[in-house]
Structure 1
């Protein structure tokens, strides 16, 4: 297949692109604006691979995006490009509205115009997969789980912008007949995660002997899915999902933030005992505004309909993640020290 992936230099996007090209043999065009959280180094394994092409572009640029549709002629779109950090959305919501709402509208309109040029089997096969988050559903009471029928109740500028993009994707299906699929995922973790997020931040702070800051009392619960499991789940939905449907992808691994950090500390105590005990580095800090108490996903629909199933236990995969950061300092050190410039590093640019 020819697949257009937006946000393919990001954390989840790069895992997806590598899976599509290296493991499944698809031809992929990665579209990415190379904002601060995008790292082209993540796609270096594809350097020289003629199945992968790269276009530096803003998804809000309708002319550029439409041109890429016409040139590449994708059989499917997997739309992951988004601003995604809650703290940044609180201090600067405008970028989230622009990218997540306006950018999604541009992608949908460009896809619709292109879809209307297709005929026969090409038209029947085309799919637009919109990738979203469980944060659009708001906060859960103890013991409850999100399902595809959960009510939208976003609490932050980030989750509100993603909720708006979900509604747009469904509206373009209902109004214009665009063959849309929507996924909502739980918190991702794994290799190549930008170090402002909880797990990579804790890993790198522990390596440097710095404080491990935990919001509030640390009891905020999240469901964790390994990024490579998520990538496989997205492909399963693209290939087997019913048009117009939503699928929730989770890891069946609900942990509170303090548990996650303490698990990381125990891993570091085993791998770097000379620097322990690492729990002494934990510091509780003022909670952020609108911090939802619990997210947890019931992925039963995806498991039953498309064969999705998480393949890893959280604790073992978390240790594998720590080991990846220990072995790949060349990936994260330039970011950590502010030396990362976003150069393309040999990607085949349009």
Structure 2
């Protein structure tokens, strides 16, 4: 049994990973989370006290980070500012968290010889044309297009440099768009679901033609655990589940699964620099580590996600008003 420090573990994909690990292994977990607006301690309720602890703190706090890293066998680094719209409004928090925070953790891992896994995004690669037959691979050149994706690209490069220059035992994974339970309602899929549930028409950027490669958060969690336990040090693994859908298709599926007309949505002004298409080739992960997703049918995974939001309004309702106020201020 090992002790894992999970940064950002009160956020969406972090909390899903924490739950997955505690449900499927004997590992114990400490979550380090700043508990900003995007975190929710309710996402961690009911976890076994004998194997789980929550520490509120900032990953840029070098003294706090050093003490925690020293007492754990591995670090899984989820903590990040991750919302593109917010990065366009104010880039500075993205630099602080995604760059300086990652640097702080890497230095602690270097001092203590701690295994380190870095969670990143496919957005570091930029975007693909809608009719491009290719997908992102581990050798695709970085071409980030927003303050968010550029700071994540910077954090990836820091990890690579610390492996080569200082010999830390680190791996990186770049994942496509996640969906599932415990995702903040500012994000695309839960925003549309909760809009419909509250009698508000969904909002779709531009013409809704932008394509994302969707993966259920449980599948992301199982892939990260596989890389942590079996991945080769210094390697990058792309995580994807062959879930390409354009945003219009996703909104229409949500409406139909909730018994509404497929066209009952509104078009709003497109995001500045909105990437056209993401697509992941996860061949390396599947062939080298034997990983495979459980949710291979997007409509099935979406239905389970809709059911979770429908059944758990107490989790998301406190967030909804503030999230929509931010969108209204941005004209979206």
Query: 2-side partners of 1:202 and 1:103: how far apart?
Result: 31
How far off its partner does 1:91 sit? Answer: 0.3
How far off its partner does 1:144 sit? Answer: 2.0
Query: 1-side partners of 2:87 and 2:185: how far apart?
Result: 16
Total equivalences in the alignment: 319
Match of 2:100 in 1: 102
- Across the aligned residues of Structure 1 and Structure 2, the Cα RMSD in angstroms comes to 1.2
How far off its partner does 1:22 sit? Answer: 2.4
Q: Bigger shift: 224-233 or 327-336?
A: 327-336
Asked whether the equivalents of residues 240 and 305 of structure 1 are also in contact (C-alpha less than 8 Å), the reply is: no
Match of 2:293 in 1: 310
| SS of residue paired to 1:181 | strand
How far off its partner does 1:69 sit? Answer: 2.2
Query: 2-side partners of 1:184 and 1:39: how far apart?
Result: 24
Query: 2-side partners of 1:253 and 1:9: how far apart?
Result: 25
How far off its partner does 1:278 sit? Answer: 5.5
How far off its partner does 1:21 sit? Answer: 1.5
Asked whether the equivalents of residues 268 and 278 of structure 1 are also in contact (C-alpha less than 8 Å), the reply is: no
Query: 2-side partners of 1:283 and 1:319: how far apart?
Result: 22
Question: Matches of residues 109-128 of structure 1 in structure 2 within 5 Å?
Answer: 109-115=107-113, 126-128=114-116
| SS of residue paired to 1:195 | coil
Query: 2-side partners of 1:296 and 1:197: how far apart?
Result: 19
Match of 1:237 in 2: 227
Match of 2:197 in 1: 207
Instruction: String of CA shifts for 1:68-98, please: whole Å, max 9, x gaps.
Output: 223xx21111000000000000001000011
**What TM-score do the two structures reach when normalised by structure 2?**
0.94
Match of 2:307 in 1: 323
Aligned mate of 1:79, from 70, 77, 80: 77
Question: Matches of residues 193-342 of structure 1 in structure 2 within 5 Å?
Answer: 193-269=183-259, 276-277=260-261, 279-280=263-264, 282-312=265-295, 313-338=297-322
Is residue 181 of structure 2 the alignment partner of residue 191 of structure 1?
yes
Instruction: String of CA shifts for 1:164-218, please: whole Å, max 9, x gaps.
Output: 0000001000000001100000000000100000000000000112121111110
| SS of residue paired to 1:291 | coil
Match of 1:17 in 2: 18
**What TM-score do the two structures reach when normalised by structure 1?**
0.89
- Specify which structure has the bigger relative contact order, considering alpha-carbon pairs within 8 angstroms and separated by 6 or more residues: 1
Asked whether the equivalents of residues 109 and 115 of structure 2 are also in contact (C-alpha less than 8 Å), the reply is: no
Aligned mate of 1:177, from 167, 178, 194: 167
How far off its partner does 1:338 sit? Answer: 4.8
Asked whether the equivalents of residues 221 and 295 of structure 1 are also in contact (C-alpha less than 8 Å), the reply is: yes
Query: 2-side partners of 1:130 and 1:170: how far apart?
Result: 10
Query: 2-side partners of 1:2 and 1:36: how far apart?
Result: 27
Is residue 34 of structure 2 the alignment partner of residue 33 of structure 1?
yes
Match of 2:54 in 1: 54
